[in-house]
Amino acid sequence: MLEQFDADRWLHKLKLQEFPEPKAIHLKHPVLLCHGYGAIASLVKPSPLYDVAMLLRSHNVPAFAPNIVPYAKIETRAKEWVHSIHELTDKQPYDKVNIIAHSMGGLDMRYALSELAIAPKVASLTTISTPHHGTSLAELTLSTPDAIRDKLADFLDWMGDRVYPKTKSDSVGSAVQLTRRYITEEFNPNISDATDIPYYSYSSAVGKGTPVPIRVISRYQNNHIYDQEGINDGMVSVESSKWGQHIKTSTLSHLEQMHVSVKNDREAIFRSFWREVIEMLEAQGH
């Protein structure tokens, strides 16, 4: 049996790296991570993008992932993000922040930059799977029978009011603002991009139409969006995610982007994706 033991192969695993620490990435400004619609991730971690913030900090990037109301209209959520920006730039030694916004958070920040006079404190806006052209998933949710929709809305609002009691939740009102009709006919025509601020975007595609499988829990939504809009991450299509300079399409589901339901063999993909995002900001001089 000892004759079959490959000592060199086993000892190779013990070989030390010269620099085993995470790569140091240098940004001129810290990162504010803006989460999207919903409170699922908040039930299992301090904030929806907390794990992302800790990952970015391991790469020498000051990153903050605050909580705001999980179910509310864009106008309400945008005001809370502006408050967070002031908390960082008025009370800490930062003059500007790089915004990385996930999902609905990207719409919140587009509104804030256009309408709430916060642009002077923002160096860049990067959106991750934001429904810049709406999502048919919101329309599917709103099309359920009234009795079911009202019960679901009551539950979501009840949950939202308990995880974030500072602001009243409005799950239905905010879902309406994620529909393709609202975004393309009301939001986009009236919300202009801020001048002198770069807008970057990332999309993602898994499940139907791709070689990457998606968890069973998200398969119905993934198939529905595919039939309506094409390849998607289980909540937002690739085409809807594009805004400003589109950087790339990743292979993480919408939940995996927040480090939710990430299997062990997908962990490296999650970490690599977020490292690439901040490396892009570093390369762009932000």
pLDDT at 146 over 80: no
With respect to residue 5, please indicate whether it lies within any of the assigned structural domains.
Answer: no
Average pLDDT for 31-48 = 87
- What pLDDT score does 144 carry? 81
User: Domain limits at 169?
Assistant: 25-40+47-206+235-283
Any idea what the CATH number is for the domain that residue 134 is in? 3.40.50.1820
| The pLDDT of residue 1 is above 80 | no
In a domain, 16, yes or no: no
The 3-state DSSP class for residue 14 equals coil
Confidence of residue 76 (pLDDT cuts 50, 70, 90): very high
- Which single residue is written with the structure tokens 């013990």? 14
Say how many domains are in the chain: 1
Within-domain flag for 14: no
Alpha helix positions (H), 29-93: 50-58, 74-91
Q: Which residues of 206-231 are buried (b: 16+ CB within 10 A; e: fewer)?
A: bbbebebebeeebeebbbbbbeebeb
User: In the chain, how many H helices and how many E strands?
Assistant: 12, 6
Task: Let me know if residue 224 belongs to a domain.
Answer: no
Buried/exposed code over 43-55 (b: 16+ C-beta within 10 A; e: otherwise): eeeebbbbbbbeb
Name the CA dihedral angle for 190, 136, 168, 124, rounded to a multiple of 10 degrees.
Answer: -50
Exposed, middle or buried by CB within 10 Å (0-12, 13-18, 19+), for 192?
A: exposed
Q: Is the residue at 213 inside a domain? A: no
With respect to residue 2, please indicate whether it lies within any of the assigned structural domains. no
Helix (H) or strand (E) holding 204: strand 199-204
Instruction: Give the pLDDT confidence score for residue 286 in this predicted structure.
Output: 96
User: Does residue 35 lie within any of the structural domains?
Assistant: yes
Contact at 8 Å (CB) between 63 and 33? yes
Is 214 a domain residue? no
